[in-house]
Structure 1
Amino acid sequence: MTTPFTSLLHRATDGWSLDRSGQTIKFAATKRATDPSAFAVDFLCGPHVAYPKQLQRLREQFFHIFNLLGGGEGRGGKLSDMKSLTTQDRDEILGWNATPPRALSSTIPDLFTSKVDDLPEGPAIHAWDGDLTYIELDVYSSALAQDLIQLRGVGRGSRVLVGFEKSMWNVVAMLAVLKAGAVCVPLEVSHPIARNQTVAEAASATILLTSPASAHRFAPLAPSVQIVQVSADSISETCLKQGINAAAVEPETVLPSDLAFIMFTSGSTGTPKAICLDHLCMATSIVAHGKAQHVDSTTRMLQFAAHVFDICYYEVFTTLLFGGCVCIPTDGDRINRLPNVINELGVNQAALTNTVAESLDPCLVPGLTRLSVGGEPISRELVHKWTANPEMRLCQGYGPSECAICCTAMVDLTPDDAPFNVGRAFQDSCRAWVVDPKDHDKLAPVGAVGELVIEGPTVACGYLNNAELTRAAFIDPPSWLPRDHCAVERCNEDQGQDNGCASTRLFKTGDLVRYHDDGTLGILGRRDTQAKVHGGLRIELGDVEHYIKGILQQPDLSMAVDVIIPKEASRRTLAVFFQPENLGDSGDAGGAGDCRILAGEAALDASRNLLTTLQEGLASILPKYMTPEVAIPLSTMPRNVSFKVDRRTLKDLASELPRRTLLHYSGTAPTVQESQSQPQHPLTTTAENKMARLWEAVLNVPVNSAADSFIRLGGDSIAAMHLVAEARRAGLGLSVKAILSHPVLSDMAS
């Protein structure tokens, strides 16, 4: 018996335990009386810790490692370096991924044309600003495509910016860009002009399509960017002047390997990452996830998402390529009157963030029969709420932007399903693998936490002009990958890959997951500093930190940005932690050891001043959702053994703060002087008391004064949507606009 094996056996006979998410499985080893060289190991745990099949799998892994230690592989080696994957695990994993992914060698314009042939008079768009049939959408988009080609010099590979408010013309413009063979680069009208300028420069785009109503917002991009206003009149006028017969226009030749979209997401160095999605990956993904989520010609899909998020492509292109109708409300109505517009537009299918889905009352939208949620794990309460109606079908989807909208889903959720379960990869289009977080050349055992790797033609080409990031995330095929894959021709762009070569696409998502016993995936968190806020909006914490350092110009300031979930709250909040100087003994609001959250008026002043500076400085640079909402002062910045910021300690500290206390660090709660100077306004009327109870249910803070402000107590547009739903259940009529316009309790109650 080798020394490592003997040592491990002796330790086992003394008793071991394995911690699984804060709970314990105990190992008890005993020697056999009949044979001193033999021993038995018992695995002991309660039924709530592990299922019998999990214990059986754990036993197999345990003895597999014992055998490795007893053989030549274990001699003098580290346990972490050994291949802990059992033959049983490997066979199961390969069985779950037995179907090789197949690329759909087509383009979005080609797939759309086939639907125009099938449903020429079918409804394609039902929007607040007009309706279009499939043939009308085809004619308008083809005419605009010819305008771009003949008058603007647009051709295959040109990058065209598209920036509209919610409008049917946004769909016309995106489709026209693709028909022209160009690449669609979406902009958000509400984003700071500096952010849109960065996107335009990074994409090397010189043309912007927008509406007459939004053109002034993009005016600072001129003259380097030509601004083209799109409307029915402008398209008709161009056709007349140029003699274009819109009905007879043939689209430009587009190849599946041509880029379709460049999507910009938050980047860790302050520069947004540009994800390159070609027609092949988009077409393959759309056909796969659209079929799985039951999109068809009867679908009337709500277009809710902002145009810069890939879920917008699901709402628009997945719907159109399956013959459905895209339903588009105004920007204001989608926030202020969401239940109303769902009913008025005849919506029967929607894709919403969990936060928005929680604010919506299913009873108010009886026609909505399919709902897809995603962005972050859902709660059991949300599942119960939306599946109470047997006619409703609830789906939880998952997919980073680098994997073309959606790559796995748990379809037709039931209350018994685990809320962290994101289902399986869509058959034929991609496969999902779980690898060792520190070494993607090693598959993780079933049940072990690992990093999710997506394989298949739905994976993007890479990051634009960023070979280093591309090589790190878009990896070469590891040795464990089955050789049954379909070769995928990459797009001819400089994304740091071998241009024009045939290759399997694999993307390291950075998401930590584990296989369940049935092969579905449970998502657990991130292995890097990427985070999500406001129900799934993706940000890089380093991106925010980069801009904060640039604004403050204080190289010695110890600071970190992270997402926290305060006590008594479920909403994620973006916070900046900092160590102020020269505060002396300011008291504290909680903590342990050397690192404590500072309290006292001096600390609160420092917090308010920092937050004001950041919000003013970041307003012209970053989207609002990337601006910290609270600034938390610390006695010292916690560090781990490698002297990096200990983010776990920061999250733990913040999670213990009551929501009312956290408000003092958000700049919304009144200062001590303000509290002392303000007259008291106790709740006196029945309406005020009723409204106060509704506020408490939504904001999770005590409300005792009729002078309290909904906004100063932490309310925002999302919280206002929740309040509207709660008020309606209580028989009160409120709107998001009225709440934000009249935030004082006495005014709202009256």
Structure 2
Amino acid sequence: MTSISTTSSPATPTTVASAASKRVADRIAARAGDPDITLRERVALRTSDAEVTYAELSERAQKTAAELSALGVGAGDIVGVRLPSGPGAVAAMLACWHVGAAFLPMDASAPDAHRDHLLSRSAARAVIDGDGPRSLTDAAPSATGSPKGDDAYVIYTSGSTGTPKGVLVGQDAFAEHTTAIADLLELRDTDTVLQFAGLGFDVAQEEIWPTLAVGGTVAFLDSKDRALGPAELARRVRELNVSVLQLPTSYWRLLCAQMRGTESPGLSFDGVRTVVIGGEAAGTKDVHAHRDGPLGHCTLVNGYGPTETVVTCTAFVLRAHEPLPPTAGLPIGGPVGERRLYVLGADRRPAAGDSPGELWVGGSPLAEGYLNDPQRTAERFHADPFGSASGARMYRTGDLVRRHRDGTLEFLGRLDNQVKVRGYRIELDEVERHLTDTRGVTAAAAVALDDGTGTGGRILAAALAVTAGGPTAEEIREDLRGRLPSHLVPGLIRVRDALPLTTSGKIDRKAVAAVLADEHTAGEEAGAGVRVRADADAASAGIAAADTADADLTLLLKLIRTLLRAPDFGPDDDFLAHGGDSLVALRVSGTLREHGLRLRPSDLLTAQDARAAAVRMERS
């Protein structure tokens, strides 16, 4: 078992200065301007139909930087990047660094209202979208309060007060992290790393910049690849020549389960040497599925890290030939780079032995804090009493961990009202605020439930009280989808006349969670009943099961009803409007494949209703 020491020497000013002197933008510029033409013309970015060299990337970034400068954008400003993941977004972000500005990357799939809110909240000076850079006239200059231009980016995460909070990451911290990740993954200039995460997710920055810093290639999926099944992902990986694959744990887990025991040439990942997972807890049973499939030859890296600790702050490295750890949960390992990990009790003293405690992260690669929010910053970032460097800080993660005898850490859970659902960090308070902002909703309680698959996945659920004649669950979900990113929209919504209360008059969250869990289980049982009532289903849906196309639609309906716990889901109902998402679509696709039917997950996501999706199915 390969692991990384959980102790680390304190970051010294010399260490930080050394990292800062090799900032990412400088390293890319050096590659682009290298006198050796073979180095300048190496491929920096690759899509299915185009390649961009380092020289071309630099030229594009400098052109956009000149346009930003003409708008008055400079050191200390924030620039929104409102572009889909791809070469254009990378050039735009690099341009921001050239003028001394920090960038705010936004998920292209999020509603416009949500992205407009982030631009306003961050006081962004400009935005780069499909029409190029444009000024935001209501923004004040130097919004970050950093006149030296020492900020790299701002990432917004869910907030406990009901509003998102912007995590501001400095150039020095990110440059140091870039070096540490390149070392951890042993990145070389011959590597191609797949850019898989949404641009508004901090993992995207870890996929892009360490790769470019070492002279490697970043590969991008097509915009239509909203969800890829095993065969589609394998084909894309081969076409793009990917060697390092970074995936959300929930997606990786589902892929491995669907590929387990298969040896089809169409599922070959022979060119991949390393798979990095993260976003939520993984178990050793997941690793068994990983090893019993076409990714089994790869080194597996289990990463952990809040955005405030600059993406991945700990990692556990497991090579293909090494034995699995004796724990049920896959360890999160030890520190990445010059970080210090403390397991502290409630008294903020080190926990004894292997006793559980809260994880605090120190060392130099930490975020500056929360953008324009000193109170929140003071609550989570504290002086480090264990560090020897001047001004040393540490971040309070709110995560419960245990340190094992070999020094590795095991994640045990959260200490507050924050949850992880399909890789996204979600404050339940924020979900509830958005729910109560919906017309007709008088009270709301959000919880995370086991998704019932036995894989450790979770779904976001909510119980609501509404006014007489108020909105239905479907109407509430549709309203939320129009103004929030999909991960903040509960997949299970139940409307009640009133919510259970504690003796003090507050909403009884435990009671709400128990009721929703019971209904979730009942929905699963109802779905199971649907599976054995094919003729009744066909009759109620108004279709003749004898006809092949109608039988295919019947099967599709049964699967969706089962997985969404929605026994009444009909052929003309919208999959997304009933809580469907990319992972559920992947599960539907995988099950259909077992029945000799092919339906791409993206076809289910983009179809207007189940009937339209069924038309796209093919028999294999």
> How would you bin the TM-score normalised by the shorter chain?
0.7 to 0.9
Could you say which residue in structure 1 is the equivalent of 2:244? 349
Aligned to 1:433: 342
The answer (yes or no) to whether the contact 1:268–1:543 under 8 Å persists in 2 is yes
Counterpart residue number, 1:587: none
Matched, 1:340 2:235: yes
Tell whether the 8 Å contact from 2:226 to 2:582 is kept in structure 1 after alignment. no
Post-superposition CA distance 1:27-52 (Å, at most 9, x none): xxxxxxxxxxxxxxxxxxxxxxxxxx
Deviation at residue 726 of structure 1 after TM alignment? 4.6
TM-score of the two chains, using structure 2 as the length reference: 0.81
Q: Do residues 164 (structure 1) and 83 (structure 2) align?
A: yes
What is the aligned partner in structure 2 of residue 37 from structure 1? none
1:47 match: none
**Following the alignment from structure 2 to structure 1, what is the Cα–Cα distance between the partners of residues 512 and 444?**
11
CA distance, structure 1, for counterparts of residue 72 and residue 136 of structure 2: 17
Identify the residue that residue 167 of structure 2 maps to in structure 1: 275
Q: What are the within-5 Å matches in structure 2 for residues 332-731 of structure 1?
A: 332-336=224-228, 337-360=232-255, 364-366=267-269, 367-388=271-292, 391-412=297-318, 416-417=324-325, 418=327, 420-426=329-335, 428-436=337-345, 438-439=346-347, 441-478=348-385, 481=386, 483-484=387-388, 486-487=389-390, 503-533=391-421, 535-552=422-439, 557-568=442-453, 570=455, 571-579=457-465, 609-633=471-495, 637-638=499-500, 644-659=506-521, 661=523, 678-679=541-542, 681-682=544-545, 688=551, 692=555, 699=562, 711=575, 715-728=580-593
Tell me which moved more, 191-200 or 695-704: 695-704
Secondary structure of the equivalent of 2:343?
strand
Runs of at least 5 residues in structure 1 that lack an aligned partner in the other structure: 1-94, 227-253, 488-502, 583-604
- For structure 1, which segment, 108-117 or 171-180, has the greater mean C-alpha deviation from structure 2 after superposition? 108-117
Q: 1:702 to 1:563 in 2, by over 3 A?
A: closer
> Partners in 1 of 2:202 and 2:446 — Cα distance?
25
Cα distance in 2, alignment partners of residues 470 and 406 from structure 1: 20
Answer yes or no: is the 8 Å Cα contact 2:179–2:210 preserved in 1. Answer: yes
674-683 or 510-519, larger mean C-alpha shift: 674-683
Secondary structure in structure 2 of the residue aligned to 1:109: helix
Distance in 1 (alpha carbons) for counterparts of 2:317 and 2:55 = 32
RMSD of Structure 2 on Structure 1 (CA) = 3.9
Q: Secondary structure at the match of 1:110?
A: helix
Instruction: Give the SS at the match of 1:332.
Output: coil
Instruction: Give the partner amino acid of 1:520.
Output: T
Question: When the two structures are superposed, what TM-score results if normalisation uses the length of structure 1?
Answer: 0.68
In the TM superposition, residue 375 of structure 1 has moved relative to its aligned partner by 0.6
8 Å Cα contact 2:334/2:407 also seen in 1: no
Match of 1:210 among 129, 134, 137: 129
The aligned residue for residue 100 of structure 1 is 10
Conservation of the 8 A alpha-carbon contact between 1:186 and 1:307: yes
Q: Alpha carbons of 1:475 and 1:683: their partners in 2 closer, same or farther (altered >3 Å)?
A: farther
2:68 pairs, out of 144, 148, 154, with 148
User: Of the two, which has the highest radius of gyration?
Assistant: 1
Pair 1:696–1:204, CA change in 2 (3 A): closer
Partners of 1:371 and 1:394 in 2: CA distance: 5
Contact kept? 1:694, 1:726, Cα under 8 Å: no
3-state DSSP class of the match of 2:289?
helix
Task: Describe the superposition over 1:225-253 as per-residue Cα deviations: whole angstroms up to 9, x where unpaired.
Answer: 89xxxxxxxxxxxxxxxxxxxxxxxxxxx
- In 2, the alpha carbon distance for the partners of 1:645 and 1:702 equals 25
Task: Give 1:425's aligned amino acid.
Answer: G
Give the aligned partner of residue 207 of structure 2.
315
Q: In structure 2, give the amino acid aligned to 1:209.
A: I
- The aligned residue for residue 590 of structure 1 is none
Instruction: Output the amino acid matched with 1:406.
Output: T
Q: 724-733 or 521-530, which moves further after superposition?
A: 724-733
Tell me the number of residue pairs that the alignment of Structure 1 and Structure 2 aligns.
Answer: 570
Do the aligned partners of residues 722 and 283 (structure 1) sit closer, same or farther apart at CA in structure 2, a change above 3 Å counting?
A: same
Kept in 2: contact 1:327–1:347 (CA 8 A): yes
Aligned to 2:93: 174
2:570 and 2:280 mapped to 1: Cα distance? Answer: 35
Q: Shift of residue 632 of structure 1?
A: 3.0
Deviation, 1:538, is 1.7
Deviations 1:551-591 (A, max 9, x none): 2365xx44211211144565422111235689xxxxxxxxx
The alpha carbon displacement at 1:428 in A equals 4.4
Alignment map for 1:109-258 (pairs within 5 Å): 109-116=25-32, 117=34, 119-128=39-48, 130-149=50-69, 151-212=70-131, 224=138, 258=150
Structure 2 residues not aligned, in runs of 5+: 141-145, 532-536
1:168-206 CA-partner distances (Å, limit 9, x unpaired): 111111111111111111122332222222211222213
Q: Distance in 2 between matches of 1:332 and 1:415?
A: 39
Q: Is the 8 A contact 2:158 2:165 kept in 1?
A: yes
Amino acid at match of 2:96: V
After the TM superposition, which residues 14-25 of structure 1 pair with which residues of structure 2 at under 5 Å, given as runs? none
- Distance in 2 separating the partners of 1:661 and 1:422: 34
Q: Give the Cα separation in 1 of the matches to 2:193 and 2:8.
A: 33
Q: Given that residues 538 and 554 in structure 2 are in contact (C-alpha distance below 8 angstroms), is that contact kept between their aligned partners in structure 1? A: no
Change (3 A) 1:256 1:532: farther
1:560 partner letter: A
Task: Give the conservation status (yes or no) of the 8 Å contact 2:177–2:310.
Answer: yes
- C-alpha distance in structure 2 between counterparts of 1:308 and 1:704, whole Å: 35
Per-residue deviation, 1:689: 8.0
Residue pair 2:156, 2:165 contacting (<8 A) in 1 also: yes
Residues 451 and 512 in structure 1, CA contact (< 8 A), matched pair in contact too: yes
Superimposed CA distance per residue, residues 223-282 of structure 1 (whole angstroms, 9 cap, x where no aligned partner): 6589xxxxxxxxxxxxxxxxxxxxxxxxxxx99981110111122233220111001111
The answer to whether the Cα contact below 8 Å between 1:124 and 1:325 also exists between their aligned partners in 2 is yes
AA paired with 1:577? A
CA distance in 2, matches of 1:148, 1:515: 48
Residues 567 and 655, structure 1, Cα contact 8 Å, conserved in 2: no
Instruction: Indicate how the Cα distance of structure 1 residues 738 and 624 shifts in structure 2: closer, same or farther if over 3 A, else same.
Output: closer
Amino acid at match of 2:7: N
* 1:428-454 CA-partner distances (Å, limit 9, x unpaired): 410111112x44x22222322221110
Following superposition, the deviation at residue 635 of structure 1 comes to 8.1
Question: d(CA) in 2 for partners of 1:693 and 1:613?
Answer: 24
Supply the AA of the counterpart residue of 1:181.
Answer: G
Please tell me the residue identity of whatever aligns with 1:399: G
Contact kept in structure 1, 2:523 and 2:566, CA below 8 Å: no
Structure 2 distance, partners of 1:679, 1:143, is 59
- Quickly say closer, same or farther: Cα 1:314–1:273, change in 2 above 3 A: same
How far apart are the structure 1 equivalents of 2:149 and 2:253? 40
Q: Is the 8 A contact 1:477 1:506 kept in 2?
A: yes
Query: Partners in 2 of 1:268 and 1:703 — Cα distance?
Result: 30
Closer, same or farther: CA 699–326 of 1 in aligned 2, 3 Å: farther
Q: 1:526 to 1:257 in 2, by over 3 A?
A: farther
Q: Which residue of 2 aligns with 1:743?
A: 610
Distance 1:635 1:620, change over 3 A: closer
Q: Are the counterparts in 1 of residues 102 and 149 from structure 2 also a CA contact under 8 Å?
A: no
Cα shift at 1:123: 1.4
